[in-house]
């Protein structure tokens, strides 16, 4: 898949745990873990907005496009 989830990098930069982020954003640890590892095929805009708000970042900081070769 040409979309790469960079949530783990942003979390590490801000020293935020999975549990803390899940509690603040209002999603389960399991769903956040799946998102973090790129094992999802969709994300709600409301979830993306909540992540960006709490992490003080832009959607492009969390998701990158890399063309397949």
**Domain residue limits, the chain:** 3-58
User: Whole-model pTM?
Assistant: 0.89
User: What are the tens digits of pLDDT across the range 11-36?
Assistant: 999 999 999 999 999 999 999 999 99
User: What are the tens digits of pLDDT across the range 33-57?
Assistant: 999 998 998 999 999 999 999 999 9
User: Any idea what DSSP says for residue 2?
Assistant: -
Cα(13)–Cα(31) distance, rounded to whole angstroms?
21
Please report which residue ranges of 26-68 form alpha helices under DSSP H: 29-36, 45-55, 59-62
CB proximity list for 31: less than 8 A, separation 6 or greater: 22, 40
Instruction: Extract the tokens encoding 56.
Output: 């003080």
Superfamily holding 3-58: lambda repressor-like DNA-binding domains (1.10.260.40)
């Amino acid at each position: 898949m040409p979309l790469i989830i960079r949530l783990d990098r942003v979390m590490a930069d801000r020293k935020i745990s999975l549990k803390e982020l899940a509690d603040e954003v209002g999603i389960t640890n399991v769903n956040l873990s799946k998102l973090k590892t790129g094992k999802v095929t969709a994300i709600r805009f409301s979830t993306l907005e909540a992540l960006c708000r709490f992490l003080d970042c832009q959607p492009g900081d969390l998701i990158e496009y890399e063309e397949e070769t």
